[in-house]
Structure 1
Amino acid sequence: MESERFLIGGYVVEIEGRELIDGVAALGSFANFRYNGGADRKALLSFSYSTEDCGEMCGDFLYSSENDGVVSEFYSMPEKGCFFQKMRHENGEWLNMKISGESGVAVIYGSLMPQMLRFAMWIGFGVMLSGNNAIAIHSSCIVYEGKAVLFLGESGTGKSTHTRLWRESIPGASLLNDDSPILRAEEDGIYVYGSPWSGKTPCYKQQRCPLAAIVRLYQAPFNKIEKLPLLYAYGSVHPSCPPDFAYDTRLYDGISSTIGKVLESVPVYRMGCLPDHAAAQLSCETIFKG
């Protein structure tokens, strides 16, 4: 079967079948991650597409969300070692996906509508990352002096604004990813990778940088940053991990383990800030010069 391979977060992801290959190409965000390395390198996850009816495979309900007209439901099938993603667009189109965590295979059924396909692939990849010391973390990531900083916060907090202010006021600062970089604990340290998922900002970089710090932002009428003790640091990082996975013990344990490894060596800060250049200067000076 025809296939293409991509390298994301240091892991190989395989796409099988012409129809799905074309669907992924239409997303426009995976091109920089195409992998032409050795075929003997095992894929962490293989996606395939089926026109057959997948039937009722929902299992135990875990989480539901709605975004831009798409209702998404995530289920666990523990007796089969699988997870099931069910998506419905308000226009009537649907996409279902069965993910086998043990075999590393995800089968997609239904529509290959870009909006749903992009999210389905993020979910499938995230399931496999959870048991491999990595997390697709909701954040905006800046790179400065060769090191990455993750800015976390609730939607609308100003993560993208803050990293834009870095780029405007701090020479040499650049954006790695604006929505879902890959945070990974490796034998020689903690690293952040660019990914094909960057929200509304088209920033798809095949780049790996050591992580210097994590900063959780909140809006305030002042600029103030403080380093957090371990327990509060965990509480600041955890909400930015995929909420779909928080209600399954296997996935949650993997994510918790990765966070623990990150916190062994990476400082976490909490920062109240205004949307101004002084805020960017303060966080930069604290992390890199403090």
Structure 2
Amino acid sequence: MGNTAIVCAVRWDQRLHIPMYIFLGNFSLLEICYVSTTVPNMLANFLSTSKSISFVGCFTQFYFFFSFGCDEGLHLCIMAFDRCLAICHPLSYPRIMTKELYTGLIIFAWSGGFIFFLTPVFLISQLPYCGPNTINHFLCDPVPLMMLSCSVDTTTQLIYSTFNVIFMIGTFVFILCSYAVVTLTVLWMPSATSKQKAFFTCASHLTVVFLFFGSLMVMYVSPGSGHPVRMQKIVSLFYSVMTPLCNPLIYSLRNKEMKAALRKIFRIEQATHKI
């Protein structure tokens, strides 16, 4: 509901029809898709006695969940790039960040994950599964899936780990580099007001970045690191459910324009005082 409110606010409020909020609207829509791949099935399992999922259904969930997760990382990258461009090159920003550019970035961010994760999903699905068929998890996660395989395929594990490292470290370093440039620019600003405004512009995005990438790196950079099953579930629940739940609050509570648009949508009149 929180992410839907942000999507509606960006769609209906003309003041939010700028790249920063268009990226945020797409990010919120992506969050809805992201949680829809796992949470409905998880909630259904709470009420079910069988708690079963087909082989095809399991790998379909696996593919879409991690593709949307990869898309989320790419969206965070383009949002960091947008903030870096707006703060470091404010005069050139309207000329550089054209409709064609931000549309292309959005298309790339939506499609990148679906292309990137085809190979590891295909390889893991081809592993021999002839023994136990019970996944000790609330979603079809690659680590418990590979543990169910009849043989240890080090090649598949290596390829999977390589994909994770390339994606997570690559996107995270890109975001950090973007904000390193932003930090240097902010430090050279003569006005304290300008510094404060730049900080508040970036603070929400940075909070989401560390919440998302922090939990992911704990789990997926090294699938053979031997995390306890209970810890796997807790960390997975954090990045798959809690982070998307917190994101609307993080973005809306720290942004005046977004709060104004949400009030407009829900018809919450602000009290006014006449002098």
TM-score normalised according to structure 2 size:
0.27
When you count helix as a share of all residues, which structure comes out higher?
A: 2
Q: Decide which structure has the larger Cα Rg and report it.
A: 2
Say which structure, 1 or 2, has more relative contact order (CA 8 Å, 6+ apart): 2
TM-score normalised according to structure 1 size:
0.25
When you count strand as a share of all residues, which structure comes out higher?
A: 1
